[in-house]
Amino acid sequence: MRRLLLLLFLAAGFAFPQTRVYELRTYTCHPGKLEALKARFRDHTIAIFNRHKMESIGYWVPEGEKSQTTLIYILAHPSREAAEKNWAAFRADPEWVKVRTESEAAGPIVEKTESVYMNPADFSKLK
């Protein structure tokens, strides 16, 4: 009976696949620190994200006034719960702790972080 329930539970997951959740993150840097943040992402952070199953969708620097202080990016997670677990594992990762500490030896890079979780609309190409 237990096996049957397990099989039904697993089959339900395949019959009703979960839609991924996307996370829009905006980092506002201290003046003059955007290049340091971009280097940290380029050289370390993205690889650590990958290790913790955090899928990078894209990275952007806005045009105009915020172009010197702002980095915007989108991550994909299997679910909101997975996102929370992935972030906890990322923040505790010894390599991340080392990279962050070393990159901020001359002072903090990021002044403010904003995060918005998003679900795809039914007509979205990203699901």
Q: Is the pLDDT of residue 11 over 70?
A: no
Q: Is the pLDDT of residue 117 over 90?
A: yes
The whole-model pTM stands at: 0.82
The class (CATH top level) of 17-68+78-109 is alpha beta
Tell me if residue 26 falls in helix, strand or coil. strand
Residue 3, pLDDT score: 54
CA angle, 24 then 113 then 82, to 5°? 50
Q: Is the pLDDT of residue 26 over 50?
A: yes
Q: Where are the domains of the chain?
A: 17-68+78-109
57-94 CB burial, b ≥16 within 10 A, e <16: eeeeeeeeeeeebbbebbbbbeeeebbeebbeebeebe
30-57 pLDDT, tens digit each: 999 999 999 999 999 999 999 999 999 9
Q: Is the pLDDT of residue 60 over 90?
A: yes
Residue 8, pLDDT score: 44
Confirm if 109 and 70 have CB atoms less than 8 A apart.
Answer: no
Average pLDDT of the chain to the nearest whole number: 89
Q: Is the pLDDT of residue 29 over 80?
A: yes
